[in-house]
Amino acid sequence: MFEPRLKRFVEELFREALSAVDPERLVREAIELRDNAVLVRGIPHRLGRDSRLVVLALGKAAVPMARGALSVLGGRVDRCVVVPKSDSEDYAELELCHVVPGSHPLPDARSLRAGHALLEAVRGLNRNDLVLVLLSGGGSALAEVPRAPLDLDDVLLTAERLLKAGADIWLLNAVRRRLSELKGGGLARAAAPARIINLIVSDVLGSPLPVIASGPTVEPETTTEDIARTLRQLDVWFDLPETVRAILEEPERSSLRLGNVLQSVVLADAAVLARAAVEACRVRGLPAVLCGTRYTGEASQFGRFWATLARSVREERLPWAPPVALVAAGELTVTVRGDGRGGRNTEMALAAALAVAGARDITIASLASDGDDGTSGAAGAVVDTGTVDALRVLGVDARDALHRNDSATALAAVGALVVTGLTGTNVNDLYIAIID
């Protein structure tokens, strides 16, 4: 009885937008096997009679990306390793592959097994061999080989502290690259002199290649930022193991150029998702405006901003006149202070619900493209101007829930959660405000 009025409509828009970033289709359309070559977006990469073709898929979209590649390359593949997030995914059509699920958002022993499986797959290759790498978000945690003298506990504790402190993906992966033998071009160096092609579904705003999955097979980025100073400012520096701090204080290791990386193609990102949502609105007769695709920051603060923009449109008809949908994309963070259940999208939605309470005809959604928003058990949520009143009827204090980081528990009570399960893709988050 409390479900937001336009929730079903928003879910329909979300499904259609996700179809535009379907990893299996995107990979299948990007590659072609012709005579003695693999063509990637029309660029040929020669395969000799004795050349080995290796397929490596790493990330939340690993399974559908691998299916797309195998549907084209088929029996020509000599080795295949797939590192997905979940061991419950459908591995049909992956009989040729060694599937090694990792752990996310924090690495564990499974991630270590996955990292070693990737390194083993490229061992002993020569310059005639070709490695097709299929990268997607989540790969940083799913596969790991710690740099000596670190062990997995050092890496795990570091990632845990940074995530809890609200570190963004740029800082988090800059640290991860310094602590890993796999990341920052490490897998490409291990594969040398074999040739490498990267197909990428990006979960990082702007799609900087060294940051996506921490760049295991792309040119490493030399960080000019003083990481130690930044971590001190976040008040996490002295929470890190001494061995980690020692490495982070060292001058960054210089890396030779990865001459064996021939081509890197970003197949989809947050901008593709947002544009598809705009088009889905317009097809249904609802005018829509794309308001940006690189939003970052604290989830609750962005929720208030997004709600304020929607109220301006509703009450002042500025900068657009209703009816209209505002669409954007980004990746927010949450500084955890409570022990509740939620994620960045449910937190954004609950903050927005508080900010639109008392207004009229505004619906706001915040949705994770991978279907997995923190500990919420959902992709995110849809709220409207009646959500806070509905919670009050049930005896739930929305402000208190937000303060305790218990946004998902609160929003579940009023039917606001959007539950999709794992979607098989990962291109950040989608934000929608409908003013009708």
Give dist(CA 22, CA 19) in Å, integer: 5
Structure tokens at 334: 């949450």
Backbone angles phi, psi at 150, to 5 degrees: -70, 155
Give me the helices (H) in 339-428, please: 344-356, 387-393, 398-403, 407-413
> How many angstroms separate the first and last alpha carbons of the chain?
21
Evaluate if residue 329 carries a pLDDT over 60: yes
Lowest pLDDT segment from 78-82, 166-170, 342-346: 166-170
8 Å CB contact between 130 and 121 = no
**Other CB atoms within 10 A of residue 294 CB:** 14
Evaluate if residue 354 carries a pLDDT over 80: yes
The mean pLDDT of 402-422, rounded to a whole number, is 97
Evaluate if residue 221 carries a pLDDT over 80: no
The mean pLDDT of 76-100, rounded to a whole number, is 87
In this prediction, residue 220 carries a pLDDT of 81
Q: What beta strand segments (E) does 1-129 contain?
A: 31-34, 37-40, 43-46, 53-58, 79-83, 98-99
Evaluate if residue 381 carries a pLDDT over 80: yes
Lowest pLDDT segment from 93-107, 274-288, 299-313: 93-107
Evaluate if residue 84 carries a pLDDT over 70: yes
Give dist(CA 302, CA 296) in Å, integer: 8
Evaluate if residue 76 carries a pLDDT over 70: yes
Would you give the DSSP letter of residue 75? G
Q: Which residue has the tokens 């379907």?
A: 22
The mean pLDDT of 75-103, rounded to a whole number, is 88
Q: Which residue has the tokens 């701090």?
A: 245
Q: Which domains does the chain have, with CATH numbers?
A: 7-14+271-435 (3.40.1480.10), 22-268 (3.40.50.10180)
Evaluate if residue 89 carries a pLDDT over 90: no
- Given phi > 0 = left and psi -120 to 50 = alpha, else beta, which region is 104? beta
**Other CB atoms within 10 A of residue 152 CB:** 16
- Sequence-distant (6+) residues with CB within 8 A of 415 are 2, 3, 4, 7
Bigger pLDDT: 105 vs 256:
105
Give dist(CA 231, CA 209) in Å, integer: 23
Give dist(CA 33, CA 336) in Å, integer: 48
The mean pLDDT of 358-372, rounded to a whole number, is 96
Give dist(CA 29, CA 33) in Å, integer: 11
Concatenate the DSSP letters of all residues of 231-283 into one string: HHHTT-GGGS-HHHHHHHHSPPPP----TTEEEEEEEE-HHHHHHHHHHHHHH
The mean pLDDT of 409-417, rounded to a whole number, is 98
Helix (H, G, I), strand (E, B) or coil at 24: helix
- Upper half-sphere CA count for residue 33 (Cβ side, 13 Å): 16
> Per the confidence metrics, is the pTM higher than 0.75?
yes
Give dist(CA 342, CA 404) in Å, integer: 10
- Sequence-distant (6+) residues with CB within 8 A of 238 are none
pLDDT band at 166 (very low <50, low <70, confident <90, very high): confident
**Other CB atoms within 10 A of residue 35 CB:** 8
In this prediction, residue 64 carries a pLDDT of 95
The mean pLDDT of 191-196, rounded to a whole number, is 97
8 Å CB contact between 104 and 66 = no
8 Å CB contact between 388 and 362 = no
Percent of the chain residues topping a pLDDT of 70: 97
**Dihedral of the CA atoms 87, 90, 95, 97 (nearest 10)?**
-50
In this prediction, residue 418 carries a pLDDT of 98
8 Å CB contact between 402 and 388 = no
Lowest pLDDT segment from 84-98, 237-251, 282-296, 334-348: 84-98
In this prediction, residue 26 carries a pLDDT of 98
Supply the mean pLDDT for the chain.
Answer: 94
pLDDT band at 93 (very low <50, low <70, confident <90, very high): confident
Structure tokens at 194: 């074999």
Evaluate if residue 255 carries a pLDDT over 60: no
In this prediction, residue 164 carries a pLDDT of 85
In this prediction, residue 88 carries a pLDDT of 59
Beta bridge partners of 133: 56, 198
